[in-house]
């Protein structure tokens, strides 16, 4: 039997008889399987394990007509779907390209899409009749904050917007919403972009590129550059610029992002727009004195700049009554990137300022937990790689640094070298704490280090007792005027379910310590 040509499938096409294997049954996997089933495809969803909530969703999906196969080893081989060979694989982003099922698909010529690719093809008519445009954001750090800032700005303009993709709604669910959106603010990880082929964002941004997820990118037997996983990682980030229609937004301080713009195949007329923490040149957004300004999207950009908001507008007004420092540099950079994307869409200066003034970051991102005895305690548990931790550490001085966890293939020498002069001390925890300790020994040998072993308090969510010991150790190192900063530079799953659980445990231990 001839396999159908899936390359032409979209929202208007008939999916009847198309046999689809959906690899993975997390948030994006379920969304893909659910919507494909509604479209009439024959769907088999595969997962090696599932939570109780996912098993409930599996039952619902089977009632709708899909098949769900969840057991150890279910994702190892291409299944038979509806009595025939698979026509299409839709993979969740966590699966590496060398996963056995994906290698089988490649060998048999079966197309592999990610959920983002599926969503792009399933876009329906927006309020104007044409599909609503995508404003896409990727980068090693700052993606979620930037997309949420962008969504706030778009809403301030009166647009029906949604933050989707790697944050908020799965993007396939967002594009299938029966009430059409005016515009989508889309966060994309490198994993998602790896499996995306035809997206053409109205405007796209790469915020930064630094070491992260090298365990995912390293060692593909027949990958494009198996000896240089950073090159493959950066190239996947650069996919966000492919066929960009109006603007490619890059970070002036990160030459890799500018090179990715230079390398991209874009729609004729698309512009390169930089953002900088300094004085912007023509065609950029930046900072003049205490103002965020635009010299890219105004007619008189050769001679002047348009005011968007002040640095003070980026500060929270509901903190715990502390003396507020200027916004951290990476927060300003995120705001500028969000503003550039919004301006590329045609949003007014006033809406940019209004959206940023009303924006509040999610928890565990530079969150002030307490101020006690002259010491400020900050939860930035979301800093799960060295680049993010470096941004946090450069916002404070002097610092007692709380770090460690799962390194994910990252190294820490460059991070420690860059912040050594700011460190009062360090408290280390987690499986790869010795890697951080070794970098401190090499580049900051005079900084006192306390290693907190898990002992009987370890294991996933053994956190409360562990964090009480971490906080006590940090308190022993801190003196009035210091900041104790949880910026782990590592993932959390060795000792906590996720970065939120780690941050919650830290905050609870800090409050317990400061209230006694």
CATH number at residue 214: 3.40.1190.10
Is 196 annotated to bind ligand?
A: no
Q: Are residues 325 and 210 in the same domain?
A: yes
In angstroms, the CA 421 to CA 417 distance is 8
User: Residue 224: is its pLDDT beyond 70?
Assistant: no
* pLDDT of the residue at 82: 79
- Asked, for residue 87, whether it belongs to a domain, the answer is yes
Q: Are residues 262 and 233 in the same domain?
A: yes
Contact by Cβ (8 Å): 344, 273? yes
Is 409 annotated to bind ligand?
A: no
- Asked, for residue 219, whether it belongs to a domain, the answer is yes
* pLDDT of the residue at 464: 82
What Å distances lie between residue 395 and 146, 376, 378, CA to CA? 18, 13, 11
Q: What is the CATH number of the domain that holds 377?
A: 3.90.190.20
Q: Are residues 125 and 39 in the same domain?
A: no
What value does the mean pLDDT of the chain take? 91
User: Residue 455: is its pLDDT beyond 70?
Assistant: no
The share of the chain scoring above pLDDT 90, in percent, equals 78
Q: Are residues 277 and 346 in the same domain?
A: yes
* pLDDT of the residue at 1: 54
Q: Which of 357, 375, 398 is the last residue of a domain?
A: 357
Tokens of 478: 């801190």
Average confidence (pLDDT) over 471-495: 94
Average confidence (pLDDT) over 462-474: 88
User: Residue 47: is its pLDDT beyond 60?
Assistant: yes
Is 141 annotated to bind ligand?
A: yes
- Asked, for residue 12, whether it belongs to a domain, the answer is no
**pLDDT grade for 320, boundaries at 50, 70 and 90:** very low
- Asked, for residue 431, whether it belongs to a domain, the answer is yes
Is 497 annotated to bind ligand?
A: no
Q: Are residues 316 and 383 in the same domain?
A: no
What Å distances lie between residue 203 and 19, 96, 152, 392, 476, CA to CA? 34, 27, 17, 28, 49
Residue 98 backbone dihedrals phi, psi, to 5 degrees: -95, 10
Q: Are residues 152 and 92 in the same domain?
A: no
Q: Which of 357, 381, 410 is the last residue of a domain?
A: 357
Tally of domains in the chain: 3
In angstroms, the CA 241 to CA 219 distance is 26
Q: Which of 239-253, 443-457, 485-499 has the weakest average pLDDT?
A: 443-457
Q: Are residues 339 and 377 in the same domain?
A: no
Q: Are residues 224 and 371 in the same domain?
A: no
**pLDDT per residue as tens digits for the range 26-45:** 999 999 999 999 999 999 99
* pLDDT of the residue at 319: 46
The share of the chain scoring above pLDDT 70, in percent, equals 93
Contact by Cβ (8 Å): 380, 486? yes
User: Residue 206: is its pLDDT beyond 90?
Assistant: yes
In angstroms, the CA 508 to CA 452 distance is 18
Is 145 annotated to bind ligand?
A: yes
Q: What is the CATH number of the domain that holds 99?
A: 3.40.50.720
Q: Which conformational region is residue 268 in: left (phi greater than 0), alpha (psi within -120 to 50 degrees), or beta? A: beta
Is 165 annotated to bind ligand?
A: no
- Asked, for residue 170, whether it belongs to a domain, the answer is yes
Q: What angle do CA 493, 28, 248 make, to 5 degrees?
A: 95
Q: Which of 301, 327, 357 is the last residue of a domain?
A: 357
* pLDDT of the residue at 458: 44
> Which residues constitute the domain of residue 275?
120-357
Q: Are residues 104 and 235 in the same domain?
A: no
Q: Are residues 287 and 153 in the same domain?
A: yes
* pLDDT of the residue at 213: 67
- Asked, for residue 5, whether it belongs to a domain, the answer is no
- Asked, for residue 333, whether it belongs to a domain, the answer is yes
Is 142 annotated to bind ligand?
A: yes
* pLDDT of the residue at 366: 81
- Asked, for residue 131, whether it belongs to a domain, the answer is yes
Upper half-sphere CA count for residue 311 (Cβ side, 13 Å): 17
Contact by Cβ (8 Å): 391, 331? no
Residue 471 CB contacts under 8 Å (≥ 6 apart), including other chains: 484, 506, 509, 510, 512, 513
Angle 499-514/463-477 helices, nearest 10 degrees? Answer: 60
Q: Are residues 343 and 484 in the same domain?
A: no
Q: Are residues 167 and 239 in the same domain?
A: yes
Residue 70 CB contacts under 8 Å (≥ 6 apart), including other chains: 25, 46, 47, 48, 49, 50, 54, 55, 58
């Amino acid at each position: 039997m001839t396999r159908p040509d899936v390359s032409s499938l979209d929202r208007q096409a008939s999916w009847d008889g198309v046999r689809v294997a959906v690899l993975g049954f997390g948030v994006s996997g379920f969304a893909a399987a659910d919507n494909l089933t509604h479209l009439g495809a024959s769907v088999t969803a595969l997962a090696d394990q599932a939570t109780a909530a996912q098993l409930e969703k599996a039952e619902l999906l089977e009632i709708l007509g899909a098949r769900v196969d969840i057991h150890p080893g279910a994702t190892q081989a291409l299944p038979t779907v509806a009595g025939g060979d698979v026509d299409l694989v839709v993979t969740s982003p966590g699966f590496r390209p060398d996963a056995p099922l994906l290698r089988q698909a490649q060998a048999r010529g079966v197309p592999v899409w990610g959920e983002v690719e599926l969503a792009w093809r399933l876009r329906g008519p927006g309020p104007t009749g044409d599909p609503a445009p995508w404003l896409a954001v990727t980068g090693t750090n700052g993606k979620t904050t930037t997309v949420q800032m962008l969504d706030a700005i778009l809403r301030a303009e009166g647009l029906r917007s949604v933050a989707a993709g790697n944050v908020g709604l799965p993007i396939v669910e967002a594009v299938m919403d029966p009430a059409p959106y005016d515009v989508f603010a889309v966060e994309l990880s490198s994993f998602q972009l790896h499996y995306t082929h035809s997206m053409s964002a109205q405007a796209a941004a790469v915020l930064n590129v630094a070491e992260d997820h090298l365990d995912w990118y390293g060692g593909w037997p027949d990958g494009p550059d198996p000896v240089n996983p950073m090159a493959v990682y950066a190239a996947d980030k650069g996919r966000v610029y492919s066929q960009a229609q109006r603007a490619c937004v890059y970070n002036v301080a990160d030459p890799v992002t500018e090179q990715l713009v230079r390398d991209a195949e874009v729609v004729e007329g698309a512009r390169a727009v930089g953002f900088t923490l300094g004085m912007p040149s023509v065609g950029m957004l930046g900072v003049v004195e205490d103002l965020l300004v635009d010299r890219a999207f105004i007619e008189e950009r050769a001679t002047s700049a348009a005011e968007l908001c002040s640095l003070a507008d980026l500060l929270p007004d509901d903190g715990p009554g502390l003396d507020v420092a200027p916004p951290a540099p990476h927060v300003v950079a995120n705001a500028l990137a969000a503003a550039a994307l919004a301006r590329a869409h045609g949003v007014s200066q006033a809406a940019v300022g209004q959206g940023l003034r009303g924006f509040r970051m999610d928890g565990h991102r530079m969150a002030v937990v307490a101020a006690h005895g002259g010491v400020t305690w900050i939860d930035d548990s979301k800093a799960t790689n060295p680049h993010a931790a470096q941004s946090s550490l450069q916002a404070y001085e002097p610092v007692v640094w709380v770090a460690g966890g799962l390194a994910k293939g990252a190294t820490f020498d460059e991070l420690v070298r860059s912040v050594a002069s700011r460190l009062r001390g360090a408290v280390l925890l987690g499986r790869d704490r010795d890697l951080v300790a070794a970098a401190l020994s090499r580049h900051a040998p005079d900084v006192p280090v306390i290693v907190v072993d898990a002992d009987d308090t370890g294991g996933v969510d053994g956190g409360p007792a562990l964090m009480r010991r971490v906080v006590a150790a940090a308190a022993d190192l801190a003196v009035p005027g210091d900041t104790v900063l949880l910026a782990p530079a590592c993932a959390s799953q060795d000792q906590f379910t996720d970065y939120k659980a780690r941050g919650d445990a830290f905050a609870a231990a800090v409050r317990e310590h400061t209230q006694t």
